[in-house]
Structure 1
């Protein structure tokens, strides 16, 4: 939530409309062929890592709409600790999401990439990578401009 100490910054979408439109197009392209429930888990997890309140709020709501269980949403930030809850495909996608989002070692480890490649064909894997890079861009826009979700 923006406060007097931390007010919302520039309205990025109003002041960079071409970039915004390009982001919308990129987002739509990245989602093609990706299961909506898996997409929302990936989008929410990257947003958690990036501390993007706006995107966490939006994607948890969207996840519920496409049938992701409350339990999965509540335990998403500890997905590795509940192997029976998330499918192997979801776990592979979440591991890749974390590796691409954090990049602390400057690369995505081979074991993480290979795990994802075992669950997704080349086209699906490329889409998943595109989805992760897109949410990371959205997160950076929202966090930088201090875009916060409405309090309900």
Structure 2
């Protein structure tokens, strides 16, 4: 199939609501952490479009190539990340792969130990929106490397 809908144009109210949710989710979170979570979500969901956007954005924000390469194997490369980042990555994995066993208590407790209640809620909202964006991009066959974000 070569033509799929442009979600932003065909469902503008839903798209606008998601933009608002995404902006609210990011509010107050460290921008570097936001990119790490979005990159990891895109890796897990195999969303090349979003992975391209977020690795490019992370580089522009000064993220190192070494850390970008280590996100995919963060379990084995824990020394590249802070404890809050590791907790956020573990939570991202659990929420994104929720059908593989839910969100284990130890993963949730680790994140809750690193983030205050409000920040943890923001982090969860970010993971939710990132997964939604991935599903939109994959379903509508967004092409990685294009400048269009909608």
The answer, yes or no, to whether TM exceeds 0.5 is yes
TM-score, normalised with respect to structure 1: 0.92
Aligned to 2:28: 33
Selected match of 1:18 from 10, 13, 17: 13
**Is residue 90 of structure 2 the alignment partner of residue 95 of structure 1?**
yes
Alpha-carbon RMSD across the aligned residues, in angstroms, is 1.4
How many pairs does the alignment contain?
147
CA contact (8 A) 2:38 2:54 kept: yes
Q: Could you give the per-residue CA deviations for residues 101-143 of structure 1, whole angstroms, max 9, x where no partner exists?
A: 0112452000000000110000000000000000000000000
Report deviation, 1:83: 1.8
Gaps of 5+ in 2: none
Asked if structure 2 preserves the Cα contact closer than 8 Å seen for 1:47 and 1:55, the reply is yes
In 1: Cα distance, 2:10 partner to 2:2 partner: 17
Aligned to 2:110, which of 115, 133, 137?
115
For residues 56-95 of structure 1, the aligned pairs below 5 Å read 56-95=51-90
Deviations 1:29-56 (A, max 9, x none): 0000000001000001001101111100
- SS at the partner of 1:7? coil
Secondary structure at the aligned position of 2:9 is classed as helix
Query: Contact (CA 8 Å) 2:53, 2:145: kept in 1 or not?
Result: no
| Residue 40 of structure 2: aligned partner | 45
**TM-score, length-normalised on structure 2?**
0.93
In structure 1, C-alpha distance between the alignment counterparts of 2:137 and 2:145, rounded to whole Å: 13
Task: Choose the corresponding residue for 1:127, options 122, 125, 143.
Answer: 122
Q: Distance in 2 between matches of 1:37 and 1:115?
A: 19
